[in-house]
Amino acid sequence: MKTNSRRNSSVQQLILDCKTYLGDNFSQYELRNSFVILQEAKAKGFLGVDRLPSCCFADTVNVANQLLRICQSEELLSDSLKHSKTLYAYIALVSLNCIKSA
């Protein structure tokens, strides 16, 4: 139970940090949409470090899979992933317990 409350607290902090970082460009709708898409993708087995990018996946799923690979290999985030969609996917992955927050 403590793990859930700690993760929820971590997710809430990530959301606050994201709002601060993005300012007026923050979108609660896009954040929620990322969560729903990744929740469904996780349930259907579409998330994983071994999943290659696919035009059949939503962009959010491709970004999330790239983040999972980056977290596993500890490589740096490429410039192509430095946008709000990546932040939303990261928060959703932490919320879904796919990765730990940094």
pLDDT in tens, 25-51: 999 999 999 999 999 999 999 999 999
Return the pLDDT at 77.
75
* Residue ranges making up the domain that contains 10: 2-95
Counted domains in the chain? 1
On the question of pLDDT at 1 being above 60, the answer is no
On the question of pLDDT at 8 being above 90, the answer is no
On the question of pLDDT at 3 being above 70, the answer is no
What tokens appear for 32 in the block?
A: 């929620």
Return the pLDDT at 101.
76
Q: Please report whether residue 20 resides in a domain.
A: yes
Task: Compute the average pLDDT of residues 13-35.
Answer: 94
% of the chain at pLDDT higher than 70: 95
Q: Please report whether residue 51 resides in a domain.
A: yes
- The closest alpha carbon to 88, from 26, 5, 24, belongs to 26
Asked if residues 67 and 98 have their Cβ atoms less than 8 Å apart, the reply is no
On the question of pLDDT at 81 being above 90, the answer is no
Q: Please report whether residue 101 resides in a domain.
A: no
Q: Please report whether residue 100 resides in a domain.
A: no
Q: Please report whether residue 58 resides in a domain.
A: yes
Q: Please report whether residue 59 resides in a domain.
A: yes
Q: Please report whether residue 102 resides in a domain.
A: no
d(CA 68, CA 77): 11
Residues in the chain: 102
